[in-house]
């Protein structure tokens, strides 16, 4: 048992919860509650949070509203950007509040913050005065951390919505900022999140009628076009699922009175999301995409989006794995089955095994891919070392193929046997591509 787990067992859950709560409130007090003077937007959901946050940031900045952002992949203070080095979406409250203070001191008027179930469970949202809360979607993830209960996972997400009306309406950027909930109406759990108290409730979606409904979607290798309330928008990103991620930006900007041209330009200007279907080009004649997909639904979306880009006669080659460290084991065979069914070639490798046996994790995935029709050492390869796994994908790729590297995105480290190793999938891909001339 890891030292961290022993401490938790010794102190008990209530004592640990109180420790986290006190830490969050103390951190907010120490930095002077910076979100009192920032229009603060929280992004909550299982997937799509980072893309949604970056698209909101891009539109607000384009409108001349200096914006800061804390996301799984990257951290922004206006135009300044660094990658998230903390290996967690919501770092410690002291780090979060420190960045919020830095945003305020550097002239930001907006802050966009991703909020995770683990972060909410540990009270890291306390002391943050949210004005907008966006619900992207909800699918099973991180269940072991929530007593293996999806209902507890959902209720944990809901806790942050329950605090929205605890703070008064702010008057910033020349207007009253009404407490607003913005919900993906296409998700089956939308009613739960629309039930919380707020000054305003806004819906978005594609399939169902919504306040901001995307229609006439068209996608190709150059991006995606769509219409919302008879206005046309374009995304220079791969994957139609990114339309869902763009809709909250359109809604928020509309509520703030930002003009259409600025929003349209803000969406189109964002051409790369770190580790989110990010193309890596080193002169090779096939496309390599690096994506964070690490649970079944996001894996399926990434695979389908990549498949749509494969040219006639080409193959889709995917590298995948799953986390250890008490993460959800149930998702492993689900992802293996999806990869086995939707990709032509599968390479199973390490992601973040933590203290778990990486061979067991890999086996759970590989067996499911084989059941889906893959044949070992023909179109499925088991390679524990992640660099060697990436290398294998690139060696197999031909001119019409797509290589999809999933599981880590732009994360800056990998954890094996308790050791935190410096790692960036994108840089490893670039290094290995230099050795090939396909």
List, for residues 35-68, the tens digit of each pLDDT value: 999 999 999 998 999 999 999 999 999 999 999 9
Domain that includes residue 422, residue range: 278-433
Q: Given this model, what pLDDT does residue 1 score?
A: 42
Out of 101-105, 182-186, 237-241, least confident range: 237-241
pLDDT tens by residue, 229-254: 999 999 999 889 999 999 999 999 99
Task: Say yes or no: 387 and 325 in one domain.
Answer: yes
pLDDT tens by residue, 268-282: 999 999 999 999 999
438 lies in a domain?
no
Task: Say yes or no: 178 and 213 in one domain.
Answer: yes
Here the CATH number for the domain that contains residue 306 is: 3.90.190.20
119 lies in a domain?
yes
Q: Given this model, what pLDDT does residue 14 score?
A: 77
Last residue of a domain, one of 209, 235, 269: 269
Please determine, for residue 147, whether its predicted confidence score (pLDDT) is greater than 80: no
Task: Say yes or no: 318 and 242 in one domain.
Answer: no
Torsion angles phi and psi, residue 133, rounded to 5: -125, 125
Last residue of a domain, one of 247, 269, 291: 269
Task: Say yes or no: 306 and 412 in one domain.
Answer: yes
Q: Which of 211, 277, 258, 265 is nearest to 234 (CA)?
A: 265
Q: Express as a percent the part of the chain with pLDDT over 90.
A: 79
Q: How many domains does the chain have?
A: 2
Are 288 and 390 in contact by the 8 Å Cβ rule? The answer is no
Task: Say yes or no: 192 and 326 in one domain.
Answer: no
Please name the residues in contact with 161: beta carbons below 8 A apart, sequence gap of 6 or more: 44, 133, 135, 181, 193, 196
Tokens of 345: 């070639």
* Cα–Cα distance measured from residue 17 to residue 423, given in angstroms and rounded to the nearest whole number: 32
Q: Which residues pair with 62 in a beta bridge?
A: none
Last residue of a domain, one of 269, 286, 321: 269
What does pLDDT average to over the chain?
92
pLDDT tens by residue, 353-385: 888 899 999 999 999 999 999 999 999 999 999
* Cα–Cα distance measured from residue 65 to residue 62, given in angstroms and rounded to the nearest whole number: 7
211 lies in a domain?
yes
* Cα–Cα distance measured from residue 298 to residue 239, given in angstroms and rounded to the nearest whole number: 11
Task: Say yes or no: 293 and 262 in one domain.
Answer: no
333 lies in a domain?
yes
* Cα–Cα distance measured from residue 308 to residue 155, given in angstroms and rounded to the nearest whole number: 36
pLDDT tens by residue, 324-343: 876 778 899 999 999 999 99
Task: Say yes or no: 64 and 140 in one domain.
Answer: yes
Task: Say yes or no: 306 and 202 in one domain.
Answer: no
235 lies in a domain?
yes
What mean pLDDT do residues 2-8 have? 57
* Cα–Cα distance measured from residue 257 to residue 121, given in angstroms and rounded to the nearest whole number: 35
Instruction: Spell out where 292-438 has E strands.
Output: 316-320, 345-348, 380-382, 402-406, 413-416, 419-422
Please determine, for residue 199, whether its predicted confidence score (pLDDT) is greater than 50: yes
What mean pLDDT do residues 202-209 have? 98
252 lies in a domain?
yes
Task: Say yes or no: 327 and 297 in one domain.
Answer: yes
What mean pLDDT do residues 85-102 have? 92
131 lies in a domain?
yes
DSSP alpha helices (H): ranges in 163-237?
190-194
Q: Could you write out the DSSP letters of every residue in 103-136?
A: HHHTT--EEEEEE-HHHHHTTTTTT---SEEEE-
Please determine, for residue 146, whether its predicted confidence score (pLDDT) is greater than 70: no
Task: Say yes or no: 318 and 241 in one domain.
Answer: no
Strands 39-44, 132-135: pairing kind: parallel
Task: Say yes or no: 222 and 349 in one domain.
Answer: no
Please determine, for residue 5, whether its predicted confidence score (pLDDT) is greater than 80: no
Instruction: Please give the model's pTM, rounded to 2 decimal places.
Output: 0.90
Task: Say yes or no: 315 and 219 in one domain.
Answer: no
319 lies in a domain?
yes
Here the CATH number for the domain that contains residue 104 is: 3.40.1190.10
């Amino acid at each position: 048992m890891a030292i961290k787990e022993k401490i938790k067992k010794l102190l008990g859950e209530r004592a640990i919860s109180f420790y986290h709560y006190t830490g969050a409130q103390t951190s907010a007090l120490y930095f002077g509650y910076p979100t009192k003077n920032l229009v603060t937007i929280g992004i909550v959901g299982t997937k799509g949070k980072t893309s949604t946050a970056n698209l909101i940031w891009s539109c607000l900045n384009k409108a001349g509203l200096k914006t800061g952002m804390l996301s799984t992949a990257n951290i922004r203070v206006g135009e300044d950007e660094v990658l998230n080095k903390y290996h967690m979406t919501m770092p410690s409250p002291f780090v979060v509040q420190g960045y919020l203070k830095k945003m305020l001191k550097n002239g930001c008027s907006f802050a966009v913050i991703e909020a995770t179930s683990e972060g909410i469970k540990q009270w890291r949202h306390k002391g943050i005065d949210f004005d907008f809360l966006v619900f992207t979607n909800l699918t099973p993830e991180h269940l072991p951390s929530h007593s293996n209960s999806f209902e507890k996972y959902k209720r944990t997400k809901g806790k942050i919505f329950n605090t929205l009306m605890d703070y008064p309406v702010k008057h910033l950027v020349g207007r009253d900022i009404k407490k607003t909930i913005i919900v993906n109406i296409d998700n089956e759990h939308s009613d739960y999140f629309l039930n919380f108290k707020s000054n305003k409730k806004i819906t978005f979606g594609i399939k169902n009628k919504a306040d901001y409904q995307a229609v006439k979607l068209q996608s190709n290798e150059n991006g995606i076009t769509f219409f919302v309330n008879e206005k046309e928008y374009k995304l220079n990103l791969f994957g139609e699922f990114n339309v869902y991620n763009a809709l909250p930006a359109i809604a928020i900007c509309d509520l703030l009175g930002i003009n259409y041209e600025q929003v349209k330009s803000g969406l189109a200007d964002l051409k790369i999301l770190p580790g989110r279907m990010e193309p890596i080009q080193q002169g090779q004649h096939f496309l390599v995409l690096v994506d964070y997909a690490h649970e079944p639904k996001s894996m399926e979306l990434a695979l389908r989006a990549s498949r749509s880009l494969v040219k006639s006669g080409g193959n889709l080659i995917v590298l995948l794995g799953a986390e250890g460290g008490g993460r959800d084991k149930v998702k492993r065979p689900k992802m293996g089955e999806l990869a086995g069914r939707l990709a032509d070639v599968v390479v199973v490798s390490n992601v973040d095994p933590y203290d778990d046996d990486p061979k067991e994790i890999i086996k759970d995935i590989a067996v499911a891919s084989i059941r889906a029709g893959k044949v070992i050492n023909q179109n499925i390869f088991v390679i524990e070392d992640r660099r060697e796994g990436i290398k294998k994908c690139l060696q197999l790729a031909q001119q019409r193929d797509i290589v999809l590297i999933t599981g880590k995105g732009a994360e800056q480290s990998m954890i094996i046997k308790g050791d935190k190793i410096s790692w960036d999938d994108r840089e490893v891909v670039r290094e290995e591509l230099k050795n090939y001339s396909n």
